[in-house]
Each structure stands twice: as structure tokens, then as C-alpha cells.
Homo-oligomer: A and B are copies of this chain.
Amino acid sequence: MKNPILVPEIRGLLKKKRFSILKSFLDDHHEKEIAEYLGMLRPQEIWKVLELVDIYRRAEIFSYLDMDIQVEMISRSLRKNALELLMGMSHDDRADLFQHLEKEVADRLLPMLPAGERSDVIRLTSYAEETAGAIMTTDYATLLEDDTVEGAIRKIRKEAPSKETIYYLYVTNEAGRLIGFVSLRNLILAKPKRRVGEVMKRDVIYIFVDDDQEKAAQMIEEYDLIALPVVDPNERLVGIITHDDALDIIREEETEDLEKLMAISGGVEEKSYLDVPAFIHFKKRVFWVIVLGMLGLVAGIIIQKFKYILESLIILTFYMPLLNAAGGNTGSQSATVVLRAIALKELFPRDILSVIKKEFIVSALLCICLGLITYFRVLFFTSESIIPSTFSLGNIAIVISLALSIQVVWATLFGAVIPIIATKLRIDPALVSNPALTTLVDIIGISIYFAVAMLVLGI
């Protein structure tokens, strides 16, 4: 957030019509920074400032404004101003804006756009959410195989201002099929008289319009691309997704994974935390809170069933929180590590045996540490008064530390295996959330506890 002190100054300059100072301020700042300052002004003031820069820069600053402000400005503006701005915007930002406009505003504006732009908006807003089509833009530059290099550069010079990126140029045949690409770098390096078909690369990486946006982001990441072309089922080029979109997708997907991992349901909200109403926050959380609460009751029922053990050996109750904490924590850790390795494609379901082997060693080491500490803690820090004379303290120490050890090993393995099985079954592994895991581990942990007590102490 920018220093709000400058805002009254900008306002003052506007009032006094000292446009030359404002202009030099605009020249000295990045579009994104300008948008941050302007965001604190009123829509009418923003319009006045925007008029000081050329249409491309105006559209870019505008695109950096919060969606709420964009919607308000477009909804209340003069037709001419809105139209000019809409024509200057990059096609994906424009489609995004249209999706946020009220229906009557969109219906009023859409017919004013030239036919080509109009059908572009309609097409771009028609793709299903979270697909490549929904996030791509249509302002890419294309060449033909038979163009000469110098002809291609001339063409780019003419078209560049309205294209999102000109660093990758896509080569299509007459039917619009994507047959290759050439980077601006290689085009500049090539001899002017050569044909594009000779200098282009044919191993072009592309994605289908219905593919998941996450796949697009992964491909951009994997191949270090500046832009990824999007094709329809007939392999005709229909759009591109740029490197900065990949970053946005990755952020969004990470938020979604994190929320699933913490038992928060529903998709990622477009608005920021404070702008989302409390009721929506509640709705996203209540389902799992209730479900896991009910599972907590199951643990309670098990305790109730074996209450005679607790009644005769209340000391076992004192170590229940430790048992729960150790199981929950070791399970969360192994689940987290495995889940992340799966997400980063370091790990595949076929590796399940190697994972079990590795986690078994890790958990064995962990349970030796925890088991020994607990054993001696019970042995040396328990007042004899709470132990009924029918039991020996040594045996009780064995029960508690043995149950704890089993719990740690089992929870670690369970945490590691669950995400792998979820992946294999094509359930999103993040859905097998951490709180669900912890609650399940608790239930089994209590059962282990009573089982060990019954076996060792014979009760």
C-alpha cells in the first residue's frame, strides 16, 4: 500500500489544473504504482488523471486498479471514455472485467464494441472457470511460414502496441493450425531474407483450451516459457497464457491447497480476507468443524466403552494429551512432506514402498526418543498414591511408552500413505486434510492405548 499522504496532493494538483506536474509524476512511476495511488481517489478524479496519459498506458493503469473500482468507473463513465478504455485493454483483463459488470451494464456496453472485439469478449467469457480458455488472452501475434524475416519484423512493428507479448511469435497455416513458433530473439538474429518457416521451431509446447489452468502454469514453469499457446481441439491457435498469469495461478492453487489441507471447503475467494463477509468465511469452515466434531464424539464413545480401565487407572488419562499430540504431530509432518513431494512431482504412487520404508525408519527414530523420555518420566515422576496397589509402576510406564511408540509409528506411516492413496484414486490429496488426519489418528490412538493396557496389565 502506498503512502496515502500523496493523495491530497494529487487531488490539489487536479483542482488547480496543474497538469504538467501531474504528468511528470505519471511519467516517473510504474503503472502498478500509479494504480495504487489512484485507488484512493474518487472515480471522477481517476478519470481526470487517466486522461493525461496515452490510451495504452491508460488501459494498463486501469487494469491494475481493484476490480470494484474498475466496475464502478466503467458503470458510471461516459460511453466514449469507457469504449476507448475497453479497446485499449488486454483481452484477458477486458473479459475479466465484463464478467464482473452487472448484466445491464454489460448489455449496454457490448453492442458498442466493434464486431470482432465483441465476439472476442463473448468467447473469452464463455470458457469454464479454471480452464486454460478462461485465463488466456487473444491478443497474440501470429506469422505465416512464408513470411520473410524482415516482413515479419515489419508486421510486428505495426501490430506490437496492441499485443500482450511479442516475444514469442506463433506460426499458423492457412487453416489457423499452430505449426511452430519463433522467439523475437531468434527473429532478430536471423538473416532478413530467410523465410519464417526456416527459422521457426516446430517443437512448440501447447495446451488445449479445456485443459486445467494448473496444467498451463506447470508447463510454463517446467519449460521456462514467457507465453504458452492455447489451441482448440483441431489444434487451431485460439489464445496465449503469459508468464505472469502462471504466477497468479500458482498462488491461487497454493491457497486452495492450503485451505483444503486445513479443512476449509469451497473455492478460493476472489476478494481479499477483509472484503469477504463473515458469513462466507463461516460457510467455508462449518462443514468440517461439524464433521470432525462428530468424529471427536466417536473417540469419546471409545473412551466410554473402556471407562472401567480409566476408573481403575486414572494415570492413563493424564497421558492422553501427550498421546494425541505425538500422533497428530508426527502424522501431520509426514503427510505434509509427502503431499508437497507429490505436488512438486518428486513422488509418484509407484514409490509407495520406498516411502513406507523411509517413513518407517524416521518414525522408529522418533518413537525411540519420545518413548524413552516418556518411560522415564512415568517411572520417576509419578506419585505412588495414584497407582492402585494391584499394578506395578514399571508395567504402567511400559504401557504408556509402548502405546506412544506404536502411535507414533502408525501415525507417521498413515500420514505418509494417505496422500499417496488419494493420488492413486485421483482424489485431490490435499482434501485428505490435516485436521481429518489428526482426528482419525486420535481415534485409533485411544484404541491402541486401551488395547496395550489390556494386554500388558491384563485388565
Contacts and interface: CB of A to CB of B under 8 A. Distances in A.
A268 to B, nearest CB: 9
A278 B366 CA distance: 11
Interface stretch (A3-11, A42-50, A284-292, A388-396): A284-292
A405 to B, nearest CB: 12
Interface in A343-367: 344, 346-348, 351, 354-355, 358, 361-362, 365-366
A226 interface: yes
Contacts of A325: 292-293, 295-296, 299, 435, 438-439, 442
The complex is assembled from copies of this chain, and their number is 2
A259 B226 contact: no
A332 B336 CA distance: 15
A174 interface: no
Contacts of A365: 278-279, 282, 286
Given A281-B362, A346-B274, A329 B288 contact: yes
Contacts of A220: 247
B293 A251 contact: no
Contact of A243 (B226, B366, B386): B226
Interface residues of A, number: 112
A134 to B, nearest CB: 19
Interface stretch (A81-89, A96-104, A121-129, A303-311): A303-311
A153 B358 CA distance: 56
A329 B289 contact: yes
Interface string A366-378: 1001100110010
A15 interface: no
Contacts of A355: 273-274
B296 A336 contact: no
A296 B370 CA distance: 12
Interface in A1-55: 1, 27-30, 32
A326 B28 contact: no
A119 interface: no
Contacts of A288: 329, 333
Interface of A: 1, 27-30, 32, 153, 156-157, 160-161, 166-167, 184-185, 188-189, 202-203, 205, 220-224, 226, 243-244, 246-247, 250-251, 254-255, 258-259, 261-264, 272-274, 278-279, 281-282, 285-286, 288-290, 292-293, 295-297, 299-301, 303-304, 307, 310-311, 314, 317-326, 328-330, 332-333, 336-338, 340-341, 344, 346-348, 351, 354-355, 358, 361-362, 365-366, 369-370, 373-374, 377, 386, 408, 434-435, 438-439, 442-443, 446
Contacts of A329: 263, 288-289, 292-293, 435, 439
Given A296-B325, A439-B325, A304 B318 contact: yes
A317 B303 contact: yes
A307 B317 contact: yes
29 contacts: A28-B203, A153-B188, A156-B188, A184-B184, A221-B244, A221-B251, A226-B226, A246-B247, A258-B340, A259-B337, A264-B333, A272-B344, A273-B346, A274-B346, A278-B365, A281-B362, A285-B366, A290-B369, A295-B325, A296-B323, A296-B326, A297-B377, A303-B321, A307-B317, A324-B324, A325-B435, A325-B439, A329-B439, A332-B434
